[in-house]
Amino acid sequence: MGKIKVGIIGPGNIGLDLLYKLGRSEYLTPELIVNIRHSEGIEYAEKMGIRTSTEGVAAILKEDDIDIVFDCTSATAHAFHAPLLKEAGKFTLDLTPAAVGPYCVPAVNMNDSMLELENVNLVTCAGQATVPIVAAINEVADVSYAEIVSSISSKSAGPGTRQNIDEFTVTTARALRDVGGADDSKVIIVLNPAEPPIFMRNTIYTKVKNPNINAIKKAVEDMVDKIKVYVPGYQILLEPIIQDDIVTTMIQVEGLGDYLPVYSGNLDIINAAAVNIAEAYVKKKLGGE
């Protein structure tokens, strides 16, 4: 059987980066990318030889052989798209903070029943980077409070993120609790315009009930190995250190340099996670047939 055809809504930083990642997939192929108007992103995709449309979601709904859709627009737009895509029976990966479907962080909570849903949400880039560490620490040390500081280069934060930074922090904080397992959480996002641009960097503070640092270190190492399978540039910058009951861990994400250069680890990690989920969906489907 051939590759599964994928549609992308929104040719921004995320959407265009996905074209590269999907282009390399053994299971998926980017079939159509849509926007609601002509844009630089549409031109870019055309130059890459990808079919485009300026009719928005309607163009995708018309294509029966598109099985999987990546929505890279905004929370508001996705709330409109989600029921239409569901109706059309398309498995939808929501890369906006809309959270119509449940949060999915592949290294932590992806499972067969999640792949049977019609819509899963990718949290945020900071969520994909930090939730796994919180979940790993929570597993062995019981996290009562998780606080993350996520620094991203100004160049890799697109207008969607900038105009909705509250949704970004609130969604990430919720995922630290719902998926990471922390009782309480706080998220801080910092944009840094330094040139050359900084790599995406995340500091994860956790307040733990069971401060066994060796168990924590081991759990974090194992989790990093799981993430590296789909995000090769994910690395520990500071292995867990503890003071009183507060554990500090720092990680950095180097991107693959697809659409934006390697400093945009934030694009890489959310897209890599989305592609990983889509591939798991296809593999499950193939396995079932």
Partner 1 sequence: MGKIYITDTTLRDGSHSVSHRFSPDDIKSITSGLDKAGVDIIELGHGDGLTGSTINYGFSDYSDYELIEAAASVVKNAKLAVLLIPGIGTVEDLEKAKKAGATAVRVATHCTEADISMQHIRAAKEIGLWTVGFLMMAHLTDTERLVEEALKMESYGADVVYVTDSAGAMLPVDVTEKITALKKALKIPIGHHSHNNLGLAIANSLVAIEAGATYIDGSLSGLGAGAGNTSTETLVAVMNKMKYEHGVDLYKTMDVSSDSLIPILNSKGLSPQTNLDAMLIGYSGVYSSFMLHARRAADRFNVDVRDVLMELGRRKAVGGQEDWIIEVAQQISKKN
The CA-based dihedral angle spanning residues 99, 105, 109, 112, taken in that order and rounded to the nearest 10 degrees: 80
Q: Which stretch binds partner 1 (CB under 8 A): 108-116, 175-183, 199-207, 266-274?
A: 199-207
- For residues 79 and 246, which CB has a smaller minimum distance to partner 1 in the complex? 246
- For residues 117 and 188, which CB has a smaller minimum distance to partner 1 in the complex? 188
User: For residues 146 and 179, what is the distance between their CA atoms, to the nearest angstrom?
Assistant: 12
User: For residues 98 and 30, what is the distance between their CA atoms, to the nearest angstrom?
Assistant: 23
**Under rule CB under 8 A, which residues in 40-99 are in contact with partner 1?**
none
Cβ burial of 186 (10 Å; 0-12, 13-18, 19+) is middle
Q: Which residues are catalytic?
A: 125
Q: Which stretch binds partner 1 (CB under 8 A): 45-53, 108-116, 203-211, 228-236?
A: 203-211
Task: Give me the least distance between CB of 170 and partner 1, in Å please.
Answer: 6
User: For residues 86 and 108, what is the distance between their CA atoms, to the nearest angstrom?
Assistant: 25
Task: Give me the least distance between CB of 163 and partner 1, in Å please.
Answer: 6
Task: Give me the least distance between CB of 107 and partner 1, in Å please.
Answer: 24
Task: Give me the least distance between CB of 157 and partner 1, in Å please.
Answer: 8
Task: Give me the least distance between CB of 140 and partner 1, in Å please.
Answer: 20
**Binding residues with partner 1: total (CB under 8 A):** 22
Q: Does 203 bind partner 1 (CB under 8 A)?
A: yes
- For residues 39 and 248, which CB has a smaller minimum distance to partner 1 in the complex? 248
CB 167 within 8 A of CB 97: yes
Task: Give me the least distance between CB of 190 and partner 1, in Å please.
Answer: 6
CB 269 within 8 A of CB 107: no
User: For residues 94 and 115, what is the distance between their CA atoms, to the nearest angstrom?
Assistant: 13
**Under rule CB under 8 A, which residues in 136-155 are in contact with partner 1?**
147, 149, 154
- For residues 82 and 146, which CB has a smaller minimum distance to partner 1 in the complex? 146
54: phi then psi, degrees, rounded to nearest 5: -110, 20
Q: How many CB atoms lie within 10 A of CB 86?
A: 16
**Residue window 208-247: x/- pattern of binding to partner 1, with contact defined by CB under 8 A:** --------------------------------------x-
- For residues 14 and 189, which CB has a smaller minimum distance to partner 1 in the complex? 189
Q: What angle do CA 169, 273, 27 make, to 5 degrees?
A: 155
Exposure string for 74-85, b = 16+ CB within 10 A, e = fewer: bbebbeebbeeb
Can you read off the two tokens belonging to residue 197?
């641009």
User: For residues 264 and 271, what is the distance between their CA atoms, to the nearest angstrom?
Assistant: 11
**Residue window 154-193: x/- pattern of binding to partner 1, with contact defined by CB under 8 A:** x----x--xxxxx--xx---------------x-xxxxxx
- For residues 52 and 128, which CB has a smaller minimum distance to partner 1 in the complex? 128
Interface with partner 1 (CB under 8 A): 147, 149, 154, 159, 162-166, 169-170, 186, 188-193, 203, 205, 207, 246
